[in-house]
């Protein structure tokens, strides 16, 4: 194990470059692979010269939002998962643990339920963002008054299950079964039929969230040795918690608002990559972001290649692959311990 | 840096963990903090480190309050070694020790040559250099304690607050760690170590602070460990002696029930 650890130590730079390169490659593959054949280079050429050809339209209107959102949402989920695991010092934390994803899903469902979804195209993501903001504010009100990490976990779990209950209530009371179907489908998470305006809505939120989360790397390292030691090393834990809650609210709230809930990416990816960065929580952040992007893009390419119709929902696929994978991981950890 | 606790009172639950405690640590001084379990040693350590909110009283650093300093400056000047040494993640020992350099580093720059040198020196001083590539979980309790001591040493602070740094160590490493802490003090740092071993405390410390029931029972050179103080603090009788001009104190049996009774009322 120690030889592997030493290699991991030295390989951080190359690892970041490799994962960054893979992320770019996966994004490009996501542009190139689809239900109709598309010559990406010819299409790009058309776009560059302002020709509104069919390939150019397919690229800009269909493939580009899907690929870019897959990349950004995957990055958000992986990064937030790593940050939450670092903050809570618990490998089972995931982006949902602070309750923001549940809030975002509920916000979107409310929009569905109220019929606003048909009113204008950004109603759904805006509802999701609003839900995420409300959940984050509820959490903020608590954490801002100096609540500890345990309170944060409990509050997050409570907010998540309350949002889940309200979502179920909306389904329960849904006047027409089609609306209920639509809500359930949306909740399963997907990148299909997303548009550039949705990307422009979510991307700034996610970028701001990434900046907050990535800036916490040294504090998360210090937290390895516990809260007292981290404080004695000059880190303000109250500020750290606020930064991370705000960062995950922005990153995950923005992501869920556009794509629906996509599970397991934020839980599994940091697990998978942790040994490669010598288990250092600070270094895990960036690589988990790239890892999340690669996994999500890969899953999204897979649902397009699979001969199953209607197309499988992304959240379903990530959970189907993620859960058994996590079990095998836990089993391996148990045997190593 | 001179650190003082002035009239410090800390309530934990419905008991006073510290009850109007006054004490000070000066640069170049090795102070042993002793007392029975639950006497308030850890709480006083945390007060001195600026980690513990006080009910009343205050902690002063060169006469100023903690909030008058930038956090990072205080973090560079005071190293704190916590008692419970668990690492959340299986980091390599040398990476753990390097965490002690965080107050010296700018967020996104790598380690400087000074950081690397400080880590090496700390690894060597705590005798864990040969364990550098292991993880904390793969170490014995004593090795783990030494690795964590190395983490605190790597800060190279002018005050070192160590909560039970030798409790888990074997006799040789206890002696080495105490000599190391004293050497740190001789180099000009103020050192406070919470200790249970009376002989180590009496031999290696310049001054002892004896806590019992959240109060300072005695504060002075090792000679303050009189039979009366030991009986009042621990409820034990001790066998004493001298070897090569240095004292040893071995707790021998529970003392006759008279003096301990007054302490619980405090």
Please give the pLDDT value at position B258. Answer: 57
pLDDT-wise least confident of A203-217, A307-321, B41-55: A307-321
Phi, psi of B167 (to 5 degrees): -60, -35
CA distance A276 to chain B (A): 12
Residue A140: inside a domain, yes or no? Answer: no
Indicate the residue of B91, B103, B148 with minimum beta-carbon distance to A233: B103
CB contact under 8 A, A232 and B76: no
Contacts of A229 in chain B (CB under 8 A): 80, 82, 99
CA distance B207 to chain A (A): 24
Tell me what the pLDDT averaged over chain B comes to: 91
Contacts of B50 in chain A (CB under 8 A): 232
Residue A103: inside a domain, yes or no? Answer: no
CA distance B133 to chain A (A): 6
Number of domains chain A is built from: 1
Q: How do B3-12 and B56-61 pair as beta strands?
A: antiparallel
Interface contacts (A, B; CB < 8 Å): 89
CB contact under 8 A, A228 and B46: yes
Contacts of B151 in chain A (CB under 8 A): 225
Q: Read off the DSSP letter of residue B61.
A: E
Residue A115: inside a domain, yes or no? Answer: no
Please give the pLDDT value at position A137. Answer: 84
C-alpha closest to that of B204 among B59, B33, B79: B33
Complex ipTM value: 0.90
Contacts of A6 in chain B (CB under 8 A): 133
Which residue in A has a C-alpha nearest to residue B73's C-alpha? A234
Phi, psi of B66 (to 5 degrees): -60, -40
CB contact under 8 A, A233 and B99: yes
Q: Is residue B261 predicted with pLDDT exceeding 70?
A: no
Residue A106: inside a domain, yes or no? Answer: no
Average pLDDT over residues B35-49: 94
Task: Give CA separation, A117 vs A176, A183, B154, in Å.
Answer: 15, 11, 58
- The CATH number of residue A297's host domain is 1.10.3470.10
Q: For residues A179 and A224, which has the higher predicted lDDT (pLDDT)?
A: A224
Q: Which of residues 75-134 of A touch B (CB under 8 A)?
A: 89-90
Please give the pLDDT value at position A147. Answer: 67
Indicate the residue of A1, A218, A278 with minimum beta-carbon distance to B91: A278
Q: For residues A249 and A235, which has the higher predicted lDDT (pLDDT)?
A: A235
What percent of chain B is predicted at pLDDT more than 90? 82
Residue A42, both tokens: 């010819």
- Domain of A322? 3-98+183-336
CB contact under 8 A, B133 and A6: yes
CB contact under 8 A, A278 and B87: no
pLDDT digits (tens, 9 = 90+) for A148-201: 777 888 888 888 889 999 988 988 887 778 878 878 877 888 888 888 888 998
C-alpha closest to that of B199 among B249, B252, B251: B249
Average pLDDT over residues B17-35: 95
CB contact under 8 A, A279 and B72: no
Contacts of A270 in chain B (CB under 8 A): none
- The C-alpha atoms of residue B99 and residue A217 are separated, in whole angstroms, by 12
CA distance B151 to chain A (A): 10
Contacts of B53 in chain A (CB under 8 A): none
Q: Is residue B260 predicted with pLDDT exceeding 70?
A: no
B241 Cβ contact partners less than 8 Å away, ≥ 6 residues apart = B247, B248
Phi, psi of B105 (to 5 degrees): -105, 145
Please give the pLDDT value at position A145. Answer: 67
CA distance B74 to chain A (A): 7
- The C-alpha atoms of residue B53 and residue B213 are separated, in whole angstroms, by 19
CB A233 within 8 A of CB B102: yes
Contacts of A226 in chain B (CB under 8 A): 82, 84, 86, 88
Residue A269: inside a domain, yes or no? Answer: yes
Residue A126: inside a domain, yes or no? Answer: no
How many CB atoms neighbour CB A66 within 10 A? 24
CB B190 within 8 A of CB B25: yes
Q: Among positive and negative, which fits the CA dihedral A214, A216, A222, A224?
A: negative
Residue A206: inside a domain, yes or no? Answer: yes
Residue A114: inside a domain, yes or no? Answer: no
């Amino acid at each position: 194990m120690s030889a592997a650890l030493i290699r991991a130590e030295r390989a951080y730079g190359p690892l970041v470059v490799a994962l960054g390169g893979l992320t770019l490659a996966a994004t490009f593959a996501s542009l190139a692979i689809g239900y109709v054949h598309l010559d990406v280079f010819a299409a790009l050429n058309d776009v560059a010269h302002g020709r509104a050809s069919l390939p150019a339209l397919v690229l800009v209107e269909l493939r580009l939002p899907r690929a870019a959102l897959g990349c950004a949402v995957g990055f958000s989920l992986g990064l937030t998962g790593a940050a939450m695991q670092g903050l809570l010092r618990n490998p089972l934390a995931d982006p949902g643990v602070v309750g923001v994803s549940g809030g975002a899903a509920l916000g979107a469902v409310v929009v569905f339920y109220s019929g606003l979804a048909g009113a204008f195209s950004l109603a759904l993501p805006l509802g999701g963002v609003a839900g995420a903001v409300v959940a984050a504010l509820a959490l903020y009100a608590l954490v801002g008054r100096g609540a500890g990490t345990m309170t944060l976990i409990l509050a997050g779990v409570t907010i998540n299950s309350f949002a889940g209950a309200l979502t179920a209530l909306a389904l329960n009371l849904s006047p027409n079964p089609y609306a209920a179907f639509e809500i359930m489908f949306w909740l399963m998470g997907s990148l299909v039929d997303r548009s550039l305006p949705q990307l422009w809505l979510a991307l700034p939120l996610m970028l701001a969230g990434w900046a907050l989360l990535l800036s916490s790397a040294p504090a998360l390292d210090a937290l390895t040795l516990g809260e007292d030691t981290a404080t004695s090393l000059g880190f303000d834990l109250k500020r750290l918690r606020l930064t991370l809650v705000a960062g995950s609210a922005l990153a995950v709230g923005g992501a869920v608002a556009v794509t629906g809930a996509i599970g397991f990416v934020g839980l599994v990816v940091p697990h998978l990559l942790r040994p490669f960065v010598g288990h250092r929580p600070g270094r895990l952040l960036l690589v988990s972001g790239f890892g999340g992007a690669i996994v999500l893009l890969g899953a999204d390419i897979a649902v397009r290649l699979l001969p199953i119709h209607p197309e499988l929902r992304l959240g379903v696929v990530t959970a189907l692959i993620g859960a058994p994978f996590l079990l095998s991981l836990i089993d391996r950890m148990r045997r190593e311990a | 840096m001179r650190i003082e606790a002035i009239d410090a009172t800390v309530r934990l639950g419905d008991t006073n963990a510290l009850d109007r405690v006054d004490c000070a640590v000066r640069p170049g001084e090795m102070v042993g903090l002793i007392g029975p379990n639950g006497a308030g040693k850890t709480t006083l350590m945390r007060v001195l480190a600026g980690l513990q909110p006080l009910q009343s009283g205050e902690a002063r650093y060169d006469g100023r309050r903690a909030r008058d300093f930038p956090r990072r400056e205080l973090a560079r000047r005071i190293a704190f070694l916590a008692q419970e040494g668990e690492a959340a993640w299986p980091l390599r020992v040398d990476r753990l020790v390097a965490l002690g350099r965080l107050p010296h580093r700018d967020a996104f720059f790598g380690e400087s040559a000074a950081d690397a040198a400080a880590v090496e020196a700390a690894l060597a001083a705590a005798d864990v250099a040969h364990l550098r590539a292991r993880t904390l979980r793969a170490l014995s309790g004593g090795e783990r304690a030494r690795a964590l001591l190395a983490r605190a040493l790597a800060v190279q602070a002018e005050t070192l607050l160590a909560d039970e740094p030798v409790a888990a160590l074997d006799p040789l490493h206890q002696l080495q760690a105490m000599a190391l802490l004293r050497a740190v003090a001789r180099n000009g740092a103020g050192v406070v170590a919470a200790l249970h071993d009376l002989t180590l405390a009496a031999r290696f410390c310049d001054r002892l602070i004896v806590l019992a029931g959240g109060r300072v029972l005695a504060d002075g050179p090792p000679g303050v460990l009189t039979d009366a103080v030991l009986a009042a603090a621990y409820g034990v009788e001790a066998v004493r002696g001298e070897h090569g001009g240095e004292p040893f104190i071995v707790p021998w049996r529970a003392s006759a029930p008279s003096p301990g009774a007054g302490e619980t009322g405090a």
